[in-house]
Amino acid sequence: MSGPRLLVTGRELAPGQREEILQVAPGAEVAVVPVLDLDDPTHRELLSAAEVVAGELTDEQAKLAERLRWLHLWTAGADTLPPALLGSGAAITSSSGNGAVPLAEHAMMLMMMLDRDVPRAFRAQQRSEWDRFRHGELAGATLGIVGLGRIGAELAVRARAFGMRVLGVRNRPDRPVEGVERVYGPAELRTMLPECDFVVVTAPLTPATRGMLGEAEFRAMKPTARYLCVSRGALADTAALLCALREGWIAGAGLDAHEVEPLPADSPFWTLPNVVVTPHHGATTPGTPRRGFEILLAGLGAYLAGEELPNLVDPAVGY
């Protein structure tokens, strides 16, 4: 029984995963090339023959994928699609949801670090200084989640477990989300912001969301509020965020995602006393790639059955 030619790139398969693919797609030809090298004739041949690719492609690589019918991204975001792919007719799916659990946990960690001023405690520890001080607690605080997709929904559940009041913004405000007291539309973002003690951005990066938090939005927040980003740094205007932190429009920030990555060594965010920086590793857990692989398997089953693929990306929307 013949199956599709599947090219896996961008990672190795874990032990047993090739067998899992063949259980779903008996007869599939599975090639694994962690790093595609177009100077290698074998790699070019595999790419040209592939019906399905799991991984990311550059524009040059996409042009060579002549038989491609479906590209599955290992990433949850789909903001780096090559132009050559957009007009190819190939279906595109993402691994959206693969990192929802650890990113929600990471956001909770950042909120607690900021609320309890853990950086101050670390500085005191380095000085061997017994520095007791009054800090906040999350119970009773209001959280505003910008983007109520899978990450936002997971975060809402965890925040409610901490006794927080949860508000949120999403494109379809008519669709309720468990644990969210009120859902606002994107045009109502500035209406929600003054209510919040914490604002966490979990939205994808699209033309519509790029720079959606600028000076007006940061000035609309409470001076005691904290801003956190665990999805894409470019959702905020970096210059406006920097002013907000330096001039006291807001009290602090927890930044896992940054507009430029790696965050440059001379970035002022590294040394601001009211900022916690992490290196976009909120989802770097063993469970994240496993969930991405399970999404691929589900998609492969749907593909072979002629059904709609899960996590189908609309390039016009950006997710």
CA distance 141 to 95: 32
Tokens representing residue 186 in the block: 């994107």
DSSP 8-state assignment for residue 28: -
User: What DSSP element (H or E) covers 227?
Assistant: strand 226-229
The catalytic residue among 170, 232, 258, 291 is 232
The catalytic residue among 165, 170, 280, 291 is 280
Q: DSSP per residue over 195-211, as a string? A: G-SEEEE-PPP-TTTTT
* Residue listed under structure tokens 């995963």: 17
| Length of the chain counted residue by residue | 319
Q: Which of 269, 256, 184 is nearest to 220 (CA)?
A: 184
Sheet of strand 29-33, all strands in order from the earlier edge strand to the far edge: 29-33, 5-9, 52-54, 70-72, 91-93
DSSP 8-state assignment for residue 223: T
The catalytic residue among 12, 45, 66, 261 is 261
Residue 121: CA atoms inside 13 Å, Cβ hemisphere, count?
Answer: 12
- 261 catalytically annotated: yes
Tokens representing residue 201 in the block: 């951005």
CA distance 270 to 272: 6
CA distance 203 to 121: 31
- 232 catalytically annotated: yes
Residues taking part in catalysis: 232, 261, 280
